[in-house]
Chains A and B, each alone.
Chain A
Amino acid sequence: MKKIFQKKLLLTLVITILLFALLSGIGASKETVELVLWHQESPPRRVEAFQKIIDRFNTEHPEIQVKQAPQSWGEIYPKLYASIEAGNPPDILFSIPDLTMAMKVIGAVTPVEDIVNEIESKYDMVDSQIAPYEYDDHIWAVPMWGMTHLLCFNEGVFDEEGISYPFNSWNELLEAGKKLTKDGKFGIGFPASQLMMTDQNVYNYMVTNNCEIFDKDGNVTLDSQKCVESFAFYDQLLDYAPPDVVTWFWGDSEMLFLAENIYTIQLFPSLAEWMKAEKEDKGPFNCMTIPYPEGGRDGAASYSNGATVFTKDPVRLEAIKTFLIYLHKPDVNGEWLSNWDAGVYLPITKASMESETFWSNEVVKYYEDIVKLQFAATEDGKLFGFEYAPQPVIGKIAGENLLGQMAGRLAVDQMTAEEVVKWGADMIRAWQEEMK
């Protein structure tokens, strides 16, 4: 009796396993494509806001399942290399131009001009955001959002001190810095540490003064007279900045700005944080575009953040296309970027810039003028090394934070502006030689 029962139990188990395997097979035959997306926007509220969009997409497109895997900027480089090395990179990575370029150089990136062209024709993308990814006859990432520097200031203190704004020249900024630096407070809050944020800050005064790292033909022009002027001006500004700017990390400047210890900074403003500070009687805070000298031009450091694609499988590519186009749908795009961190992430298609979901966000509504200013600045935005067809050495320039190193040398009085641009240009030439 017992044996018969055991046999029946065994039979039931075998049938169950077979059925399960069969059903799984049927499930698999539906070919659900699972996409893994890496991004570096890891604070929980951003992950949560993005997950809502992903969940909606996954429900609307059951044949595609997207999973986000938040990373951090600090570890993305080694992780990405390791994943490529192991033959298991993510399907999509939200990247920046120099990281995409580094991946493209090793042949890991799939061109995506078909996706970009479709988004462009549907929603009209800002040209300056495509440019950093367009070289060697292809487009190497799908621009997803923009980040553009503004010169932000403590409007309350400016009014108290009778400083008029916006500035129409570099000199006005310098004068304001001088006037506001007193009683342990500082007029200028620009960094000089060896970080990407310093590169961005310095670049604002390069681009507005027509100082370029390379000319159209790829020759190094960092030691031009224009660049001497740009670095000399940055050096002057640092006289009115806190003494420890050479060791600042990410977030230090914004924290000191919101604590009203420094009165001007250049950044991608996290407007939700500003709103909180203003509720605590700080500020109010405001922004203007980067001032420029006589003969200069409008401009600012502007990052086009793009979706870099690693897979070459046509089925996965089609799924990626569906997902990225979905993210660019104006209502989706507006909701996603405004909830991610208003002021930091900007829509980059004309359609999304006008979307109701974007402008109905509480923070965006409150700082409407600043956001509009950012849109305008994005049109003139540039990224160092990507003014023309990018040179392969740009990965090294960005990785070494060369502009930041140059600013640091000025800040500790190790070099003059003339010496520092010569040093920077020589470094690039040496790296180019090395790469040959």
Chain B
Amino acid sequence: MVTEKLNIQIKRKFLIDLTKNEKLGLLLVTPLLIWLILVLLYPFIYVIFLSLFKRDPGSSIIQFKGLIYFYNLLFKDDIFWHSLLRSLYWTSGNVLVQFFFGILVALLLRQKFRGASFVRLWTIVPWITPVVVVILVWRWMINPTLGIVESLLRQAGFLQGYLNLLGNIKTVMITLIGIHTWRFFPFVSIIVLGRMLGIPEELYEAAKVDGASSLQRFLHITLPQLRGVLLTFLMLATVWTFTSFDTIFIMTGGGPVDVTTTLPILVYRRAFRTFQLNEAAALSLIMFLFTSIFMAIYIKLGVERDD
């Protein structure tokens, strides 16, 4: 009896002796699986191959290089460490500020007021506007000589000379974080708001009866209820921001003087400007390692929470 059960289990595991429905299910997911293999698995394996083997495009000569590209990046390449630090600065800055403004705006939008639905709808506009449009408009708005921001400040007498937010190595990264945050925090707000609206009103009423202040209600009711959503946001935002390329590339191209050269910008430069495909592949895998670590931390936090 036990052997028979085991046999059935083995057969099912290796997709033999399936029911009609199971076969149909398998058939239906096959195109998706093939697609995923083609667009995810194959490129991933190829990147691993490129990071270990040297082969020039169009050439059939393949040389095994071991971990030399990783070694060179980690121990001989100053720009790698510089870019890694810039990436961490960029990611942490964005996630923290988006987190703060996202919750703040969600709290405001949760209030009942006239036109609340309209405001909630319009909050999402920066996020749904194509990124190139947003960035180019910002780029011109803060242009030191022709932009409206500096022009207004100058006319109002608040500014002598130029702020030059993008051209100044001290302000450029903060400016980019500000613009990126402006674009993404509505997404956080809407997600958080959705969860907030699901928190039973009775909890707040009971707390009020017990004499809890607004801050106490936020800390002891709202925040614990939001924990799951916020954890998901933290995971997504960290990975998205760490790997984001478009905002920086369109705004500054990684400059001035590498101040905004994050790892994705460096990967692009290595792969498509100087054709160091092997180095770029090694860099990509290091980035993958970092994002995996972020994911592992958040998943662990999530599991602990569930426990």
Which A positions have Cβ atoms within 8 angstroms of B?
77-78, 81-82, 84-85, 87, 89, 102, 106-108, 184, 186, 192-195, 242-247, 249, 256, 259, 261, 395-396, 399-401, 405, 408-409, 411-412, 414, 434
Contact = CB atoms under 8 A, between A and B. Distances in A.
Interface in B251-275: 251-258, 269, 271-275
B144 interface: yes
Interface stretch (B51-59, B103-111, B178-186, B282-290): B51-59
A411 B274 contact: no
Ranked 3 nearest A-B pairs via Cβ: A246-B256, A399-B274, A244-B167
A399 B253 contact: no
A106 B59 contact: yes
B141 interface: no
B35 interface: no
B252 A400 contact: no
Contacts of A84: 57-58
Given A82-B57, A400-B274, 12 more contacts: A77-B273, A85-B58, A107-B58, A194-B254, A243-B162, A243-B168, A244-B164, A244-B167, A396-B274, A400-B273, A412-B167, A434-B72
A266 to B, nearest CB: 19
23 contacts: A77-B272, A77-B275, A84-B57, A84-B58, A107-B56, A108-B58, A186-B145, A192-B256, A193-B253, A195-B253, A243-B168, A244-B143, A244-B164, A246-B256, A246-B257, A247-B166, A247-B172, A247-B255, A256-B146, A399-B273, A400-B274, A412-B167, A414-B257
Contacts of B167: 243-247, 411-412
Contact of A414 (B56, B146, B169, B274): B169
Contacts of B272: 77-78, 81
Contact of A408 (B58, B146, B164, B257): B257
A78 B145 contact: no
Contacts of A85: 57-58
Contacts of B251: 247
A395 B269 contact: no
A85 B168 CA distance: 41
Contact of B57 (A108, A244, A412): A108
A106 B169 contact: no
A80 to B, nearest CB: 9
B280 to A, nearest CB: 11
B57 A247 contact: no
Contacts of A81: 57, 272, 275, 277
B252 to A, nearest CB: 5
Nearest to A430: B76
B273 A87 contact: no
Nearest to A247: B166
Contact of B253 (A184, A249, A411): A249
Contacts of A77: 272-273, 275
Contacts of B271: 78
A412 B169 contact: yes
Interface of B: 56-59, 72, 143-146, 162, 164, 166-169, 172, 251-258, 269, 271-275, 277
B275 A405 contact: no
A261 B145 CA distance: 9
B179 to A, nearest CB: 13
Contacts of B72: 434
Nearest to B279: A434
B257 A400 contact: no
A102 B167 CA distance: 32
B256 A107 contact: no
Contacts of B58: 84-85, 87, 89, 106-108
A245 B162 CA distance: 13
Given A247-B166, A395-B275, A184 B145 contact: yes
Nearest to B61: A107
Nearest to A259: B146
B273 A408 contact: no
Contacts of A414: 169, 257
A405 B257 contact: yes
Nearest to B170: A412
Residue with the highest number of chain B CB atoms closer than 10 Å, among A108, A184, A194, A242: A194
B146 A261 contact: yes
Nearest to B147: A244
Nearest to B256: A246
Contact of B257 (A89, A243, A409): A409
Contacts of B169: 412, 414
Contacts of B256: 192-194, 246-247, 408, 411-412
A194 B258 CA distance: 9
Nearest to B275: A102
A77 B253 CA distance: 16
A409 B56 CA distance: 33
A242 B56 CA distance: 42
Nearest to A242: B145
Contacts of A395: 274-275
Contacts of B254: 194
Contacts of B274: 395-396, 399-400
